[in-house]
Structures are given as C-alpha cells and as structure tokens.
Amino acid sequence: MPLPNIDEIIENFSLIDDWEERYRYVIELGRTLDPLPEDARNETNKVRGCASQVWLETSISRNVSGQPVLEFRGDSDAHIVRGLVLIVLAFYSGRTADEILASDVLELFGTLGLTAHLTPQRSNGVRSMVERIRRDAGAALQTA
C-alpha cells in the first residue's frame, strides 16, 4: 500500500486535540505500514540507536534531471514506533537527496507536538532514523 500523503497526516493531527487520541492515530498509522519481508529485517537495514527494533530499507533511482530520488520502506516491532516510522517515511520518501538534506522532519514533529509527548528513548530513535536517512541521501549525492 502506498504511504499516506504527509499533508493529510498533518491535517489529521490538527483535527485531534486529545493526546490519547493522537497516540491512537499514530498507532493506527503504523497498522497501515506494509511490513518488511523477513529478508529485509537484517543487520544492514537495522537502525542503530532505537530502543525498539527498527529497520529501514533505502532504494535510489534517478529523476528526469538525473538527481537521486530516495524511496524508503521501514518497519518496527513496536506499534507506536511503526506509526512514527510511517510519518518519517511519508515525509522523506520520494524526495531528491537535496530535498532530504534541506528538510527536517524533527521540525514537523515539534509542530505536531510529538516531540514533547515522546519518551526520550523514542525521540532518540526518531533522530537515529533521520540521521540514517540523511546519511543515505548524502551517499546518494556522492555517487551521483
């Protein structure tokens, strides 16, 4: 199933005032995330620095201008973390490496109020995912 549009996620967050409901929404988002196949749940794809198990698979193509475009698939063994993974992937997937390096999903997490309501371990995990995505984008530019 394709990832939901990040603008739709942001709009849905704006309609939910209660934090318990927002957590349920994040968990519901995670339920829509296609699971990674077992062979993709490997050490190469494992994101270091996450308290939960998180895997991130990156594929790179080129757009008509020849710029690297990154697509991501991810998964986690924790329900709420799967939702956080989906938000991160919806924000970054399908963007060029330059766009990824010029944008920061952590700002969005702050705007949505997620940063203030996540445990320190989950916040560190999100930062680890973002660092990994940014590293992949930088590597894609190096090989361009």
Q: Which of these is catalytic: 3, 6, 9, 50?
A: 50
Q: Got the DSSP string for 22-71? A: HHHHHHHHHHHSPPPPGGGSSTTTBPTT-SS-EEEEEEEEE-TT--EEEE
d(CA 66, CA 55): 28
d(CA 60, CA 74): 15
110 in catalytic set: no
Q: Got the DSSP string for 96-108? A: EHHHHHH--HHHH
Cβ contacts of 49 within 8 Å, gap of 6 or more: 124, 125, 127, 128, 131
d(CA 7, CA 26): 15
| Active-site residue set | 50
